[in-house]
Amino acid sequence: MKYFLYITILLFLSSFIFSQNVNIQEEKPELTGTSFTHKCMHDDIVKKFKHTHATKRLDYDTQQNFKNMRIFLDPSQISIPAGPTRDYLINSLLPYAIKFLSTAFSVIPVQGNLTFQKPCEFINPNTGECVQFQDPPMCNDITIPNRYFNPGVKGYDLVVLVATNPLDSSVLANAVACQFDQKGRPIGGRINFNPTAIIPSDVGGATWQSQLGVTIHELTHVLGFSSDMFPNYLKPDGTKWGKVTQTFNERGDTVTKIVTPKALKAAATHFGCSNLNGAELENHGGSGSAGSHWKARIYNYEFMQASSDGTDPVYYSPLTLALLEDSGWYQANYTAATDTPWGKGKGCDFALNKCVNSGKTSFPDHFCTTTDTLTCSLDKIARVTCNLGQFTTALPSAYQYFSDPTKGGTNEFMDYCPEWGTFRTSDTQYSICTEASNAPDTNYWGETYGPSSRCFQGTLVDASFNRFFQNQGAACYTYSCAGGRFLVKIGKKQVDCTKPGTITVDGFNGNFVCPPTTGYC
């Protein structure tokens, strides 16, 4: 996946991934996403094409200060014909992604032309010299145009070749670096989009934000968020860190964490946990996802988690900016970051211990233990339901949270923690309040869907309906904050919610919860 990214944009599976000995038996209600899904398999791509990597010595003015990174996109290998999909990729997704990354990261600028080094096929073991170069030279699975060897491109610090070759249906794009300078910083890479997975969408909509989040996610792998590049990270004095990651035993599981200082400080600050021992990496999803993404259970909605289904927000958090700053290749502009609400200020218990113990959770706004109600997402953008499911066999012991070992959440990346997630309300409608197309055919609850709508808790049902359609605990309404008043539009009524508390509304059965204005005003 935020993701949101937005920048809210961000990331769950809609086709759930399970280990071979665990199969879902029942799921109520159905958790799903839009038609957009993505699962990142970055490390598998790196391993497959590492033989195409090369290092080139470039000229830098070491007296210069860091400046916004200049990224050149080469669209010459985009095979999509002229039309909406091509225009959407070239004129919307990619420019917005580059603008974000160029704002978020600065580098010591390349002097003169940025040129590539041809990858070597065979090295003389006695002299260490290359005796045969690749022909044609490749950047992973894409041919490198000769112009990048001579004369190169002037005025840029990174070149990214863009292609649109078919990929697995669950993948929107993948990207890797293939050219590096003498200090290990990536100076060339490629991003490949799956042409059948691109969904042209309006700028700012949920699908656009999610696809933008994936684009930024993949390009961030090119910048250096990759387990393959961790060993080349540099200290401020120019020497290698030696130890970028460390393994711990926590929650009955073996976990790997980033332990470099700026990333560690960002993670500790986020949770409010001064003795945090590291920023945890993903350990699920197989060799393609584990190791080069943040742990979804710990950093949900963060744009560098491994999967996205287009319904959850994605945030570009200070944590990822801090990690790349620890590489020694970049300075980060933290004003470009948007911190995820997931786990924010929840302390060491959230980051280090189990999500649910003996059927109870200390974090009911994040995790859940029953499926009989709805609530609002952390960012108030959507109605959410609990993805608690029943499996046919026991979950691994580290992921057992109830007396019944077959009960758990449906998402492997979340350590099977039962969590609140967006859901489908019909074949064409979803629970996201900000999308006008999600409005119900019959407005039993007096709702309004659209860009300015948010989720509120309550059980209101319009009293004029003879047929009772139960409100399960959350609905979508517009609101305003002006003159010290907090007004919510319910049906045709403006309800004064300036004072938090539970109220009734004329013309409706049930009640409505006026929330604190935090998160709304």
Q: What is the pLDDT of residues 57-116, one digit of tens each?
A: 999 987 779 999 999 999 999 999 999 999 999 999 999 999 999 999 999 999 999 999
User: Residue holding tokens 């999610």?
Assistant: 210
pLDDT tens for 429-460 read 889 999 999 999 889 999 999 999 999 999 99
Residue 79: exposure state from Cβ atoms within 10 A (0-12, 13-18, ≥19): exposed
Using alpha carbons, list the distances in angstroms from residue 508 to 447, 471, 474: 12, 11, 14
Q: What is the mean pLDDT of residues 215-240?
A: 97
| For range 175-180, the mean pLDDT | 96
Label residue 398 left, alpha or beta by phi (over 0 means left) and psi (-120 to 50 means alpha).
Answer: alpha
Report the CATH number of the 354-421 domain.
2.10.55.10
Q: How confident is the model at residue 477 (pLDDT cuts 50, 70, 90)?
A: very high
Contacts 24+ apart (CB under 8 A), 376-379: 376/454, 376/455, 376/456, 376/457, 376/474, 377/312, 377/313, 377/420, 377/422, 377/455, 378/341, 378/342, 379/8, 379/313, 379/341, 379/519
Name, in order, each residue with C-beta under 8 angstroms of 438's C-beta and a sequence gap of 6 or more.
425, 429, 430, 431, 432, 449, 476
Structural fold of domain 40-232: Elastase; domain 1 (3.10.170)
Please, which pLDDT band fits residue 19 given cuts at 50, 70 and 90? very low
Arithmetic mean of pLDDT over the chain? 89
13 vs 6: which has the higher pLDDT: 6
pTM of the predicted structure, to 2 decimals: 0.89
- Residue for token digits 């608690």? 388
DSSP string, 262-310: HHHHHHHHHHT-TT---EEBP--S-TTTTTSSB-TTTSTTBTTSSEE-S
Which range has the worst mean pLDDT, 32-36, 139-143, 352-356, 369-373?
A: 32-36
For residue 141, what are the CA distances in angstroms to 174, 179, 392? 11, 13, 41
Confidence of residue 36 (pLDDT cuts 50, 70, 90): low
Closest CA to 22 of 298, 295, 406: 406
Residue 451 bridge partners (DSSP): none
Query: Does the pLDDT value for residue 25 go beyond 80?
Result: no
Per the CB < 8 A criterion, the answer to whether 376 and 458 are in contact is no
Which residues lie below 8 Å from residue 287, measured CB to CB, with a gap of 6+? Answer: 43, 44, 47
**Structure confidence at residue 369 (pLDDT):** 96
Chain region(s) in the chain for CATH 3.10.170.20: 40-232
Burial of 467: CB neighbours in 10 Å, binned 0-12, 13-18, 19+: exposed
Query: Backbone phi, then psi, for 102, in 5-degree steps?
Result: -70, -30
pLDDT band at 469 (very low <50, low <70, confident <90, very high): low
CB contact at 8 A, 281 and 257: yes
Closest CA relative to residue 194, chosen from 233, 237, 165, 151: 165
Q: Give CATH 2.10.55.10 domain extents, the chain.
A: 354-421
